[in-house]
Amino acid sequence: MNFKWEMTEENWRNYMHDNNLLEDETGEPSKDAKEGIYGQCFIGNLCAEFVHSLDNSDWYAYTNVYALGIDDEYAATKSGVPYALLDDGPVVPMGCHSFDEFQQHFESNFIEYIEANGHTSLANTELGNWD
């Protein structure tokens, strides 16, 4: 399976930093935390988006998974292609010591998620246009 990442090592560090409820030198959460999105991992017509609970008193990391081409009136890309929010996403690996390790563990978790939830046909296609 061919994964495409739109998450930098800095985004990952912010995700781990904010997950531990630490503050940076300015005493503020990271810029990513304020925006609520740390990055995405794509495979075929699936997108896992790395987000957090938005509740500083009960902060936790998780993923939303979206499927391109399913019209359930959830949303559409800029070019008008519909996409739907699917079930709970793959587990976010929190104990990794490097971004590469994080990516490897998440990709493994994503494959397990895809197989367990019957999304193989959505993953086994060319990367969709998520513009």
Domain ranges of the chain: 4-123
Q: How far is CA 102 from the centre of its chain?
A: 12
Give the pLDDT band of residue 118 (cuts 50, 70, 90): very high
Exposed (0-12), middle (13-18) or buried (19+): which is 1, by Cβ within 10 Å? Answer: exposed
Give residue 53's pLDDT: 72
Quick one: pLDDT at residue 23? 46
Cα maximum dimension of the chain: 46
- Using the structure block, give the residue that is written with the tokens 């061919």: 2
The secondary element (H helix, E strand) that includes residue 47 is strand 46-52
Task: Tell me how far apart the alpha carbons of residues 1 and 43 are, in angstroms, rounded to a whole number.
Answer: 7
Average pLDDT score, the chain? 85
**Confidence category of residue 31, pLDDT binned at 50, 70, 90:** low
- For residue 112, what pLDDT is reported? 95
Is residue 87 scored above 70 in pLDDT?
Answer: yes
